[in-house]
Amino acid sequence: MNKIRLKVLGLSYSQTQTGAYALILEAEGTDHRIPIIIGSFEAQSIALQLENLTPPRPLTHDLFTNFSNKFGIGLREVLIHKLEEGVFHSRLIFQREDQRVEIDARTSDGVALALRFDCPIFTTSEIIDKAGIIIQLETEDGDEENPPENQASETQSEDVTKETGDLSNKNNDELKVMLEKAINQEAYELAARINKEMKSRKK
């Protein structure tokens, strides 16, 4: 099997399914990206880990990671091995001492766990051929790659404004208070946006 390593680029609002999110994975060494539609809970869990935010109570993926670590079970890799009727199928490869075990999992759960275990995510060249595309993605400076449309970024901006006002008009102390409140209320997607705004000011 020809395995290709994937990198998590980020999350965006799904333009095809209301209330869902698109997880964007990039095949290393190529210009191919794979968008995977995931639910809001999994999106929150992934966003938290990407932004290095710690919730006041452990989420399900945190609990699973803590449990595995306590019993000496390591996640070695996540393999997205099949695409069937638009659904991605994944395997989690665990190891404990000399024992190696593979478990089927949803791809969103696999990615959330891979980020926590700091293990690689792989897929196959066949899936890259089927699902790999070049898409618009917001860059660090706020511009977009391949920018014919910016619908996703406009949706995100409108949502932030509705919930918190314009973050750029808030000072650092206000942002810190908002971040703490968002985490305590478990509004993790909002917390990730506030954290991103704070990081951008330190550059």
Residue ranges matching CATH 3.10.690.10 in the chain: 3-137
Homologous superfamily (CATH) for 3-137? Bifunctional nuclease domain (3.10.690.10)
pLDDT at position 20 is 83
pLDDT in tens, 147-179: 333 333 333 334 433 445 678 888 888 888 888
Q: Could you tell me the pLDDT band of residue 67, with boundaries at 50, 70 and 90?
A: very high
For residue 45, what are the contacts with CB-CB under 8 A and spacing of at least 6? 59, 60, 61, 112, 188
pLDDT in tens, 68-97: 999 999 999 999 999 998 899 999 999 999
Better-predicted residue by pLDDT, 105 or 157: 105
For residues 152-181, one letter each, b for 16 or more C-beta atoms within 10 angstroms of the residue's C-beta and e for the rest, the string is bbeebeeebeeebeebeebeeeebeebbee
